[in-house]
A and B are shown apart, each in its own frame.
Chain A
């Protein structure tokens, strides 16, 4: 075996993993900055860098009241959009996996297209519609909600559909064989099995809605969501409380994801 070959083997064995880990570190660099800056006491509002340590940002997260009202608006919109998109999207996923009908490919195309369109195009076309139908003066909470439900819907369908398609339908057959009615089978067998997919879709919806800026900004009128608040202060000087919110979002979502994974493992152990 030549030196070159041996080197090649070594590269194949370790370098790829090292490279992968480096990419992950790179992905976390801004998160460290967000956490660090949440403890920052800035000397000047306009210079965005770490000056000295303080707990004030964490103790008074709502120093700027407009941030917290934007935040609560984003949470409300996120929850409502998630609820509607998850229900509608789950129904669609069931239709696509469990029923055969004419026009499937048209339905699939309709679901795929919003995911393949640039946000700026979806945002501007919605705005064009609202203005053309005379709602141009009433842009706000409702129009943001409509937009968010629209772009979350496709992601819900895709997520739930994947879970549903991978489902073994023998369990449902067995329930039916044992004289369960269709409704009972659905409630006791199908729904619990699909539930992780629905939960995942709901989490995805919420984070898509909570984080959206481009579509929201075009259709918000004078209403401000959290990303729009951040956009606004980015020009004027960022209050460090923004980083507190960023850190909290990170911690909460990590807790949910890790919790779900641990729960899954526990259930698997219980079954084994």
Chain B
């Protein structure tokens, strides 16, 4: 018998109860010291910048980057930018939501297959899920541009099946942008879903079928509710980056599919209208925060039902 198993009998075994380990007084502070550099970095370059962003969004819009801006508490910036850019804002949320739902459908099938049906190929399949995403995001999106091009195989097939008019195209349509979003953010859905589904005790599903539930009933009464934590984190991890993304809209869409990210980026770099860009960024952040809070609350109550 090894020393470790001998020690196992002496030590409290549950990892959650580690604090009871005898610690010298100095160790209380060690935690803070370990935490300090990282926390400092996050405060300086994540929290403080948010404050700068709020300030920027309230500057006088008549200033320029070179001359500097006056702080005039211009809450009107929010109203004016909203009037100018509510369409891309609403469009982003719409595209993001549709892409997230499609990701949920595809991701659930894949995560379920890996967790329950892949047997000894589980690790291999997990690697296969992540592998395509080691290639650059932009290079992959350019590949979709090639695949979806006019006169390409996909467009021609859809035209042959009369799913697309003879002059119909995919590029520069919402379909292409949403398809790009689905593709690029799918792993953010699959991995949390897999983590949740993989934990489900298979005996619960067997018990349901022993008690004569039909497979679909068993799925909706057992598997789905138990996988809800994965569904919630997966949808959030997909929705949030998808709403803010503008690479897909730019490479696969046209100005008609412009998303809020395109607008913010252009306001900063081309138009140099920092207050408007700041106000839009803040609105995006607040909107997402509000939606996430409502969503988590709803999901939480559903879980209890």
Contact = CB atoms under 8 A, between A and B. Distances in A.
Interface of A: 5, 8-9, 11-12, 16-17, 19-21, 23-24, 26-31, 33-34, 37, 48-49, 88-89, 91-92, 94-96, 98-101, 107, 110-111, 113-122, 124-129, 131-132, 136, 146-147, 149-150, 153-154, 157, 165-171, 173-174, 177-178, 207, 210-211, 213-214, 217-218, 226-227, 230-231, 234, 238, 242-243, 245-247, 249-250, 252-254, 257-258, 261
B186 A125 contact: no
A24 B125 CA distance: 8
A185 to B, nearest CB: 12
Given A24-B125, A121-B244, 9 more contacts: A12-B215, A48-B149, A113-B46, A118-B285, A124-B264, A132-B56, A178-B3, A226-B136, A246-B139
**Interface of B: prevailing SS:** helix
**Interface of A: prevailing SS:** helix
Interface in B1-15: 3-8, 10-11, 13, 15
Contacts of A252: 134
From B53, B118, B216, name the one whose CB has the most chain A CB atoms within 10 angstroms: B53
B35 A128 contact: no
Pick the 9 closest A-B CB pairs, nearest first: A20-B113, A118-B244, A99-B31, A253-B134, A125-B49, A30-B143, A95-B34, A125-B53, A33-B143
Interface string B271-293: 00010011001001100100010
Given A49-B146, A165-B15, A171-B4, A20 B55 contact: no
Interface string B18-38: 110100000110111011011
Contact of A48 (B48, B114, B135, B146): B146
27 contacts: A11-B215, A23-B186, A34-B143, A92-B34, A92-B35, A92-B39, A95-B32, A95-B35, A96-B35, A99-B30, A101-B32, A110-B43, A118-B240, A120-B260, A128-B53, A129-B52, A147-B45, A153-B38, A154-B42, A170-B7, A177-B10, A211-B137, A226-B136, A234-B142, A234-B251, A250-B134, A257-B131
Contacts of A167: 15
Interface stretch (B104-112, B155-163, B297-305): B104-112
A122 B45 CA distance: 9
A218 B142 contact: no
A252 B134 CA distance: 9
Given A128-B56, A131-B65, A230-B138, A173 B31 contact: no
